[in-house]
Chain A
Amino acid sequence: MNKQHQLAEINNSGKAYIIYKSKKGFNLYTDFSKKIILNNKNIKDFLKKKFKNKTKKTDLFIGFFGYELLNNLINVKIPKQKNINFPKGIFYKPEKIINLSNNFKFKSIKDVSNSNFKININKNSYTKIFDKFKKKIKSGETYQIKICTKYKTKSKINPLDFFARLSKTNLAPEAFMIKDKNYSIISCSPENLITKKGSQISTKPIAGTVKKTKSLNKIKALNYFKKNIKETKEHNMIVDMERNDLSRVCKVGTVKLSKQKIVEEYKDLFHYVSLIKGKLKKDIKNIDIIKAMMPGGSVIGCPKISTLNLLNKQEQENRNIYTGSFGYIKFNGDMRFNIIIRSILNFKNFSEISVASGVVVDSNSSHEFNENFIKAKALIDLFK
């Protein structure tokens, strides 16, 4: 049976499965023998678990940590918010992995989906929040903060159809989808937060994105970023913050900027990225790494704790998966996690898309509001 058939069969069987971008294509994980729904009580045990068998490809847990869970893990409290009671985190133990190529096809009868999205913060309230945060920057409480807006619509979608179409236009290096009985997630996340192999660890923050055009090549994109003072300052801040977060768990003198402010080219856009590497201290456990690195700083702002507190005080709606992390923990201790952005969460017949963009001292509220919309639009267009 060829792989396209296998994929179609798994999808039609109603079984839960996950697809995650690999180097060469995608990996499909299914036949889950365990499903662990995480909460504040069981997460520490889950992360401290040790395993005997570690050699099989399927010896891993794959899934996600939501934003609230990651805040609570580092003792940042979130006030009472509007909540759809979506699980705070879920991990699965797969028994089967199938490799798929980059252009996997999926033919489906197109769903009747609704693209009537409503935004949770209108431009007026956005500007008010923006001005308030700008004052906080002037008084030094935060140096950079990302305001999150959420778009929601009632809809019932076919996640594989969405994911196949999304991957065709945007083959993101940290893309994934999860399809389970009562929910699905489709994501074209570009950002790797943790790659851990043995004692080596790296993180690859993105700060700065520009859309590809006919006249904009890679060299011109680099010039654009270099000349753009706002993007440069935001990026610098994120680099120092990620160096800091790695330094919490790495040996002295091993944290190095291995790629500094380079441009990476994707199908539709250019990203301004840096790569930071380090060597883990001897007694460091995965839970220490997760607490040091998550939630990923580049999508929150800086400094992390005071900025999280400012955001949490402001936001009235639970972020759910947004700015959480998806990835896997192998039984031998290796890990790979992304930052959950550019994602659609489908739950209880609603689809939600969250986006954020940064307030720094010289940013402008209507520019950032529109930037948020542009980020959301790429996903909203899938509903048409």
Chain B
Amino acid sequence: MIYIIDHNDSFTYNVVHQFSLYDDVECDNYNKINENKLKKASVIIFSPGPGNPKNYPSSSKIYKKFKGKKKIIGICLGFQQILFCEGAKIVEQRKIYHGFQSDIKVINNKSLFKKGKKFKVGRYHSLKLKEPFKMRNFEITMRCLESKAAMAFENNKDKIYGFQFHPESFLTINGNLLIKKILSA
């Protein structure tokens, strides 16, 4: 079962529907977490949402508790949430991407995806990862072609994945394939 932690976003149920194509999904608000579901889940997902990772200490706690024990995936805010827990700084960006379709590229040969492959993706983020960022086992695997901002990371040792863009958006082409690959990793 996949447990999605909703940060009160207006895109979370798109994520729910997308992951439901591959497994049973449960979804609860971040302030109404069910401990049993959390224990039962094989995958935990941190949803997109408004604000900054530091606004969601309960999600950080969950991450630290289950890191290395369960597969963890973060989307948009969730991507930032995981990196924030790993010591990264999350900062405002000069150009903001809301409802934007961007071209991104796989830039790392440690990725599950083929290096050089390009994707068209939908973006809704005010904040971004401050770089340089280096953490053991974490690889930045995709970047925006235009701004070079980090768009995905993978930690294939602990099975932790994050997308700064929205694989569930109608603006993302072949978003389901991305999810399928991460889930079967």
Query: A residues bordering B, Cβ < 8 Å?
Result: 137-144, 232-237, 239-241, 243-245, 247-248, 252-253, 255, 257, 260, 297, 302-306, 360-361
Q: Are B98 and A360 in contact (CB under 8 A)?
A: yes
Q: Are A240 and B14 in contact (CB under 8 A)?
A: yes
Q: How far is the CB of B77 from chain A (nearest CB, A)?
A: 8
Of the stretches B36-44, B48-56, B61-69, B136-144, the one at the interface is B48-56
A138-B96, A144-B98 known; 16 new pairs, CB 8 Å cut-off, are: A137-B98, A139-B92, A140-B52, A140-B126, A142-B50, A234-B99, A235-B99, A236-B99, A236-B122, A240-B171, A252-B17, A253-B20, A303-B49, A305-B10, A306-B51, A360-B98
Q: Are A247 and B17 in contact (CB under 8 A)?
A: yes
- What string of 1s and 0s marks CB contacts (under 8 Å) between B117-129 and chain A? 0000010111100
Tell me what chain B mostly uses at the interface: helix, strand, loop, or mixed. Answer: mixed
For this complex, 5 residue pairs linking A to B, each with C-beta atoms less than 8 Å apart, are A140-B52, A244-B12, A248-B13, A302-B10, A306-B51
Interface centre among B8, B16, B124 (most CB of A within 10 A): B124
Which residue in chain A gives the minimum CB-CB distance to B27? A248
Q: Which residues of B are found within 8 Å of A137, using beta-carbon distances? A: 96, 98, 126
Q: Which residues of B are found within 8 Å of A240, using beta-carbon distances? A: 10-11, 14, 99, 122, 124, 166, 169-171
Q: Which residues of A are found within 8 Å of B49, using beta-carbon distances? A: 303
B112 within 8 A of A: no
Q: How far is B169's CA from A250's CA once the two chains are assembled, in angstroms?
A: 17
Are A237 and B51 also in contact (CB < 8 A) when A247-B14, A303-B8, A306-B8 are? no
Q: How far is the CB of A235 from chain B (nearest CB, A)?
A: 7
Q: Are A306 and B50 in contact (CB under 8 A)?
A: yes
Q: Which residues of A are found within 8 Å of B52, using beta-carbon distances? A: 139-140
Q: Are A236 and B11 in contact (CB under 8 A)?
A: no
- What string of 1s and 0s marks CB contacts (under 8 Å) between B90-134 and chain A? 001000101111000000000000000000001011110000000
Q: Are B127 and A244 in contact (CB under 8 A)?
A: no
Q: Are B96 and A361 in contact (CB under 8 A)?
A: yes
Q: How far is the CB of B180 from chain A (nearest CB, A)?
A: 14
Q: Which residues of A are found within 8 Å of B51, using beta-carbon distances? A: 139-141, 306
Q: Are A245 and B10 in contact (CB under 8 A)?
A: yes
Q: Which residues of B are found within 8 Å of A138, using beta-carbon distances? A: 92, 96, 126
